[in-house]
Amino acid sequence: MESISISNMIFAPANFSVQSNQKVVFLAGSIDKNAATDWHSQIANSLAAYNVLLLNPTRYSWDSSWKLTADDPQFSEQVNWELRSMELADLVVVNFLPTAQSPISLLEFGLYAQSGKALVCCPEGFWKKGNVDIVCRRYQVQQTTCIADLIATIKTKLGVAV
């Protein structure tokens, strides 16, 4: 099992436990290894001074030979880790990048749009922005269009200093 951690960030599929009074944020969204900025690290750095645990579904030991089926043990472990993490999270943050289609992020957004736990960053250029905008409006999901505003919104929702 992986045990990669960057201070306040746990990566899939590492085991974790939540401390008393600790806030938990699941970082759903586009994973673009060619992106100019690492949005996961930006959020982690901005929340490093607070009692916040970030759960990052990025799996650095991902093997493209795994079958994307419920019967594949590694794939099943990954999906179940993500589902458990979102269930435990106080916030499910979804960041859509214009350079990615992000079908799993759209699925995760759909699962949590009505939960009161979702926050969304969806800039112009994301291929399904219209769908995301409509769902956000319908279910009163707070939405931003840039990572700086997303970070400020996360801090506000968690009740930490801005």
List the CATH number of the domain containing 27.
3.40.50.450
Between CA 49 and CA 57 the distance in angstroms is 22
Q: What is the pLDDT of residues 106-118, one digit of tens each?
A: 999 999 999 999 9
Mean pLDDT of the chain: 92
Beta bridge partners of 54: 9, 25
- The 3-class secondary structure across 67-131, one letter per residue, is CCCCCCHHHHHHHHHHHHHHHHCCEEEEECCCCCCCHHHHHHHHHHCCCCCEEEECCCCCCCHHH
Answer whether residue 9 shows pLDDT above 60: yes
Q: Tell me, what's the pLDDT at 123?
A: 97
Which of 64, 56, 46 is closest to 10 using CA atoms? 56
**Contact status, residue 141 vs residue 118, Cβ threshold 8 Å:** yes
Q: Tell me, what's the pLDDT at 35?
A: 62
Q: Tell me, what's the pLDDT at 6?
A: 65
Considering only CA atoms, give the Rg of the chain: 15
- Please enumerate in sequence order all residues whose Cβ is within 8 A of that of 142, keeping only pairs 6 or more positions apart, or say none: 119, 120, 136, 153, 157
Q: Tell me, what's the pLDDT at 36?
A: 53
Domain total in the chain: 1
Domain assignment of residue 9, given as a range: 5-158
Q: Tell me, what's the pLDDT at 33?
A: 66
Average pLDDT over residues 85-94: 98
Residue 7 pLDDT class (50, 70, 90 cuts): confident
Answer whether residue 77 shows pLDDT above 60: yes
Average pLDDT over residues 62-74: 94
- Extract the tokens encoding 84: 């458990």
Q: What is the pLDDT of residues 18-36, one digit of tens each?
A: 999 999 999 999 987 666 5
Residue 134 pLDDT class (50, 70, 90 cuts): very high
